[in-house]
Amino acid sequence: MQRYKFGMDEVVTKVSILREEFARDHAYNPIEHVSSRLKTLDGVIDKLRRKGLEPSFDTIRETITDIAGVRVTCSFVSDVHRVFDLLTRQADLRVLKVKDYIAEPKANGYQSLHVVVEVPVFLSTGTHHVPVEVQFRTIAMDFWASLEHKIYYKYDRRVPQELLDELTDAAVTAAELDARMERLHREIRHRTPGGATRRV
C-alpha cells in the first residue's frame, strides 16, 4: 500500500508542476484543483471479493488498478484533453488503460476521462512500477459526480427510480452547461480588448 501511495504522490507532483507552470508563465491556467485518495486495504479486499477473487498480493497487483487515485478538475472540456495530453506524454509514465466517459457517457450520465498510468517508484529495494488511476473532469462533471455519490451513499445504493431519472437529467444539463461555457470561453479569448473579434 505504501508503494501505491508513493506512486500517487508522484502523479500529484507532476500535475502540481504543470499547474504552477501555467500559473506563472501563461495567461491562463487550465487546472482548477487536484485531489487524491488511497483505497484502504479493507476496501481493496472487499472489491476482490465482489469480483469473486481470492484476496492475495498477486491478485491485487494483477487486477486492481484504482488503489491509488488522482482527480484533476478543469474549467472546460478542452482543458481536460489538454492536461490529459500533457501528463500522458511524459516519458516516465506508461499508459495502461483509457476510458473516455466524456466521448461516451455512462448510462446514468456520468462523464469523466479516466486513465491508468504506470509510474516508477524508486525505493531502497529497487524500482517498482505502480498503477495510478487519474480522473479528469470539468467543474460541472465533478459537481454532478459528487452529488451522485452522496445520493448513493444515503440510500445504500438502492436509489429510487425517480431520483435516478433526475440525476440523468441533471447530467444532461451539466453537459449542456459545459458546452455553453466552452463557447463563451472561446468567444472571449478571440475578442480584442476593444470588442472586435480577431482572427485565430
**Domain boundary assignment for the chain:** 2-139, 146-189
* SS3 category, 36: strand
Rounded to an integer, the average pLDDT of 13-41 is: 92
Q: What is each CA distance from 80 to 19, 157, 189, in whole angstroms?
A: 13, 29, 18
List, for residues 120-138, the tens digit of each pLDDT value.
999 999 999 999 999 999 9
Average confidence score pLDDT of the chain: 89
Q: What sign for the dihedral angle of Cα 54, 57, 58, 60?
A: positive
pLDDT at 142 over 90: yes
Nearest-angstrom CA–CA distance, 18 and 102: 22
Taking the C-alpha atoms of residue 189 and residue 183, their distance in angstroms, rounded to an integer, is 10
CATH of domain 2-139: 3.30.460.10
d(CA 68, CA 96): 14
H helices of the chain, where? 2-25, 41-50, 57-63, 77-88, 139-154, 161-189
Least confident of 50-54, 75-79, 95-99: 50-54
Q: Which residues are catalytic?
A: 133
Report the percentage of the chain scoring pLDDT > 70: 96
- With a pLDDT cut of 90, the percent of the chain lying above it is 62
Residue 48 reports pLDDT greater than 90:
no
Q: Comparing 6-15, 80-89, 150-159, which segment has the lowest mean pLDDT?
A: 150-159
